[in-house]
Structure 1
Amino acid sequence: MRNLARGLRREMWYLLFLVPGVLLFTFAVIVPFATGIRYSFTDWDGVARTLTYTGIENYVNAMQDSDLWTVLGNTFKYAIILTILVNLFAILFALLLDAYLPMRNLFRTIFFLPGVISVVLAGFIWSYNYSQGFPKLLSYVGIDATSPLGNPDHALIGLIIVAVWQGVGTPMIIYIAGLQNIPAELVESARIDGAGVFRVFRSVTLPLLAPSVTINMLLVLTGSLKVFDLVYVTTNGGPGFATEVISTFIYKNAFASFKAGYGMALSTIFFVILVIVTVVQVSIFRKREVEL
């Protein structure tokens, strides 16, 4: 017991260094999260100092809100398509830039640069490109084009193109790092055995790249599900309801419509969805890593 007490006193100094971080996490994350859940059971308008508890009424209304299901459909459509495209382009660019290529460091920088630009600035740039730049260029070859962001059938695709352009850089760097950790001897052995380029990629490169695939799929999917700024600065959820996603839907209900209690309930539902998606995705890809 004396040795245990002496050990605890000795380790106590190290634990003191954790206190600032724990306090910051508590007051910046835990307390606001708990307060938000509390407000989700009220009819708070975001301004009043008094609260009226309504039980689970906000959650019942959310489940019966047809707009919520439309928004969730838009969100998952955007996230799934974006995740697939970003990872496909990132792997393609990583394979290209990991091989011998003149000025490959320059090309790595060029492909990574869009990710450095703020999402708001990228949204304004592409809004101009869609409305002014591309139509003028296409008019020189006799093609009459309009901005896809003004067309309900094409607006979501227009946003995905912007997000792919800006979001491919970071996953590409992660894939390049994963490729550089693959022993060259394994690739050479496969080629000596007569394996072609695609066979080497399928049987050697991809299995060893599986941890990078898991990380990138998780980061891109969860990030795209939480998209807000790109939609807000380009379409604001329009035209109609074509690009309305869950984050902008929550924002408009909580702040524009002064239904903060209902907005908090939507946020809680979205949090649960994110947790479920993350757990399912990690379990699936971890299982795939073992199988590969």
Structure 2
Amino acid sequence: MANLKRIIRGELWYVLFLIPGLALFTLAVLVPLGMGVGYSMTSWDGLSPSAKYIGWSNYTRALADSDLWSALWNTFKYAIVITILVNVIALLLALLLDSYLKFKNVFRTVFFLPGVISIVLSGFIWKYNYAIGIPNLFSYFGVELTSPLGDPDYALLGLIIIAVWQGIGSPMIIYIAGLQGVPGELLESARIDGANTTRTFWHITLPLIAPSITINMLLVLTGALKVFDLVYVTTQGGPAFSTEVITTYIFKISFSSFQAGYGTALSMIFFLILVIVTVVQISIFRRREVDL
């Protein structure tokens, strides 16, 4: 017992190094989360100094909110398409730029540059391109085009194009790093055994870059689910609710309709959705990773 007390006393000072991080995590995450849970059970308008407690009414209201389900449907459509396209294109570019291509460093910079531009600026640039730049270009060839952002059938597609254009840079770099970590001896052995490029990729390269795939899938999917600024500066959820995502819907409910209590309840629901998606995604992709 005395030895145990001596060990605890001798190692206790390590805890001092954890206190700043724990304090910051508590103040920045746990306290706001607890306050959010409390406000989600009120009818607070976002301005009044006091809020009336209404229990689980906001959550039961959310279950019957058809606009919420439409926003969630748009959000998942957008996120799933973005995740697939960004990862496929980024992996193909990484395979190309990891080969013996001339000026590959220049091409890496070119493909990475859109990711450096802020999303808000990208939204304004592409909003102009869709409305004026691209239609004027095609008019020289006798083709009349209009902005897809003004058409409910194509507005979400227009946003997806912008997001893919800007989002392939970082995943591409991660894939290149993963490809450079594949042992060359394994690839050489596969060639000696008669495996062609396709077989080598599917049976050796792809399993060995599974950690890179896990990271990129997680980052791209969670980032796409949380999209706000791109939608807000381009379409603001329109036209006809066709690009309304959960974040813009929560924003409008909370700050335009002055229903902060209900908006907080929607934020709590969205938080749980993100946690579930993240846990399921990690558990699925982790099983497919290969340890060297």
Q: Is TM more than 0.5 here?
A: yes
State the match for 2:161 in structure 1. Answer: 161
State the match for 1:224 in structure 2. Answer: 224
Contact 2:87 2:168 in 1 (8 A): yes
For residues 57-206 of structure 1, the aligned pairs below 5 Å read 57-206=57-206
State the match for 2:237 in structure 1. Answer: 237
Identity of aligned residues (%): 68
Aligned mates of 2:192, 2:141 — CA distance in 1: 50
State the match for 2:207 in structure 1. Answer: 207
State the match for 1:264 in structure 2. Answer: 264
State the number of aligned residues: 291
Shift of 1:103: 1.2
Where structure 2 has 5 or more consecutive residues not aligned to the other structure, the ranges are: none
State the match for 1:274 in structure 2. Answer: 274
Aligned mates of 2:10, 2:243 — CA distance in 1: 57
For residues 130-183 of structure 1, the C-alpha deviation after alignment (integer angstroms, 9 at most, x for no partner) is 111111111111110111111110010110111011110111111111100101
Shift of 1:4: 3.1
1:228 maps to amino acid: F
State the match for 1:250 in structure 2. Answer: 250
Q: TM-score, normalised by structure 1?
A: 0.97
Q: TM-score, normalised by structure 2?
A: 0.97
Shift of 1:86: 0.2
For residues 99-127 of structure 1, the C-alpha deviation after alignment (integer angstroms, 9 at most, x for no partner) is 11111111111111111111111111111
For residues 7-18 of structure 1, the aligned pairs below 5 Å read 7-18=7-18
1:145 maps to amino acid: L
For residues 81-109 of structure 1, the C-alpha deviation after alignment (integer angstroms, 9 at most, x for no partner) is 00000000010000001111111111111
- Between 8-17 and 141-150, report the one with greater CA deviation: 8-17
Shift of 1:10: 3.1
2:32 maps to amino acid: P
State the match for 2:45 in structure 1. Answer: 45
Shift of 1:195: 1.5
Q: What's the RMSD between the two structures over aligned residues?
A: 1.3
Shift of 1:51: 1.4
State the match for 2:27 in structure 1. Answer: 27
Aligned mates of 2:110, 2:8 — CA distance in 1: 53
- Between 44-53 and 15-24, report the one with greater CA deviation: 15-24
Shift of 1:40: 0.5
- Between 191-200 and 87-96, report the one with greater CA deviation: 191-200
Aligned mates of 1:86, 1:11 — CA distance in 2: 47
Contact 2:207 2:288 in 1 (8 A): no
Aligned mates of 2:288, 2:9 — CA distance in 1: 46
Where 1:174 maps in the other structure, the secondary structure is: helix
Where structure 1 has 5 or more consecutive residues not aligned to the other structure, the ranges are: none
